[in-house]
Structure 1
Amino acid sequence: MIYKVLYQASKDEVPVREQTETLYLEASDVRDVRKKLADKPYNVEFIQPLTGKFLDYEKKSAEFKLEKI
């Protein structure tokens, strides 16, 4: 399954909505996503599973790039 992860690039700074970044990751479940990102300095805000029409919509975005972690 593909997940959309919204995160801040640094755990040390206060989260600011305008600085939220997005990455797309393939994993078996949300726990697996968190495990894959554990060694990154990210402050994860939200993890959203993408399926069906939601996934099709995100794939049309120029920012859609499946990360390999």
Structure 2
Amino acid sequence: MVFKVYFQENIKEVPVRENTMVLYVEGESVRDVRKKVADRGYNVEFVQVVTGAYLEYEQQNEDYKVLEI
């Protein structure tokens, strides 16, 4: 499955909506995705599964790239 991960680049900073970044990761579950990005030092705010029409919509975005970690 593909998951959309909302995060801040620095784990020590307070989350600010305007600085939130997004990446897409393939994984089995939310826990699996969090483990995969844990070593990157991101402050993960939210992990959301992306399927169906929502996935098709996201794939149209020019910034859509799935990380295979």
Q: TM-score range by the shorter chain?
A: over 0.9
Which runs of at least 4 in structure 1 moved beyond 3 Å after TM superposition? none
Gaps of at least 5 residues in structure 2 are: none
Partner of 1:18: 18
Letter aligned with residue 51 of structure 2: T
Gaps of at least 5 residues in structure 1 are: none
- Look up the SS of the partner of 2:28 in the other structure: coil
Percent identity over the alignment is 52
- Look up the SS of the partner of 1:38 in the other structure: helix
RMSD, aligned α-carbons: 0.7
Q: What is the Cα deviation at residue 53 of structure 1?
A: 0.2
With normalisation by structure 2, the TM-score equals: 0.95
Q: What is the Cα deviation at residue 64 of structure 1?
A: 0.3
Letter aligned with residue 2 of structure 2: I
- Aligned-partner Cα distance in 2 for 1:53–1:14: 32
With normalisation by structure 1, the TM-score equals: 0.95
Deviations 1:15-58 (A, max 9, x none): 11111000000001111001101111100011110110000000
Question: May I ask how many residue pairs the two structures share in their alignment?
Answer: 69
- Aligned-partner Cα distance in 2 for 1:4–1:23: 6
Partner of 2:60: 60
